[in-house]
Amino acid sequence: MASRSDASAPEAQMQIERVGLSFGGVRALSDISFNIYPSTIQAIIGPNGAGKTSLLNCISGLYKPQQGQIRFEGRNLIGQAPHAIARLGIARSFQNIELFRHMSVVDNLMLGRHVHMRGGVISGGLYWGFGQREEIVHREAVEQVIDLLEIQAIRKQTVGSLAYGLQKRVELGRALAMAPRLLLLDEPMAGMNSEEKEDMARFILDISEEQRTTIVLIEHDMGVVMDISDNVAVLEFGQLIAYGTPAEVKASPQVVAAYLGHEHATH
């Protein structure tokens, strides 16, 4: 896996340029700059409180940085609402599961299709034919996600009745149902056992390789990060201290001192 610093590298899909974010007197992000390239897995790592989730919140529109730009396929995302950013092709999962627990797996996945739905309640009633055709299209997209994530057996179960690892898989599925070009995953393996982590890592690789979806991944398990990532950005105290291939980052003394040396303490 190669970093994207050479002259022959493809054009960046996302450009994060000198992003700064403060909450009162607390500086959450300081002058963050790096590129994210199409169809790659971009990991963001760092100790707790390093600013990783804050950066994802800036990308997805939940936070508005006071400084810098975040450009996705040429469009500046700063100041755009989360739903507008979702419509541009950026989907997001969260650290804490954000599913509708009383609804079935299929219904939760269908909610992931909302950004593509043009027929509302009125059109569904007045123009039944169009509403039915649209429903079929979205159902087909959801079925593809169900097959990819191997959740056929739980499709009709309510999310709240599922084991934690399966709920995390359904949340990935809901984000994937949006058919994003960029997928933001905030600790998708947190709280999982080793077998569940292996499954999730395999699904992430399948999404990247089969669907050519760009993935930005926050993850604490360094074995997973080093195995599946193309590039790694390392944050510490809201600053970017390293960027490169997993091998380059792993060899950085600054990274070892800031993060890798404390790996067991941060789990």
What does the pLDDT look like over 79-106, one tens digit per residue? Answer: 999 989 998 999 988 766 667 788 899 9
Indicate if 141 and 246 belong to the same structural domain: no
State the residue range of the domain holding 126: 102-177
Indicate if 218 and 166 belong to the same structural domain: no
pLDDT at 117: 53
User: Does residue 244 register a pLDDT over 90?
Assistant: yes
Indicate if 84 and 192 belong to the same structural domain: yes
7, part of any domain:
no
How far is the C-alpha of 91 from the C-alpha of 196, rounded, in Å?
22
Report the CATH number at residue 218: 3.40.50.300
Indicate if 161 and 233 belong to the same structural domain: no
237 CB-near residues (< 8 Å, 6+ apart): 49, 50, 51
Number of domains in the chain: 2
Least confident of 16-20, 55-59, 250-254: 250-254
pLDDT at 256: 81
User: Does residue 177 register a pLDDT over 80?
Assistant: yes
The reported pTM is: 0.83
pLDDT-based confidence at 65, cuts 50/70/90? very high
Indicate if 69 and 125 belong to the same structural domain: no
Domain's final residue, options 177, 204, 222: 177
Indicate if 17 and 84 belong to the same structural domain: yes
Indicate if 80 and 204 belong to the same structural domain: yes
One-letter amino acid at 209 equals E
How far is the C-alpha of 258 from the C-alpha of 60, rounded, in Å?
27
223, part of any domain:
yes
Indicate if 187 and 267 belong to the same structural domain: yes
pLDDT at 153: 92
Token pair 């944050």 in the structure block, residue: 235
Indicate if 202 and 83 belong to the same structural domain: yes
**Residue range 180-187: mean pLDDT, rounded:** 94
pLDDT-based confidence at 260, cuts 50/70/90? low
User: Does residue 118 register a pLDDT over 70?
Assistant: no
234, part of any domain:
yes
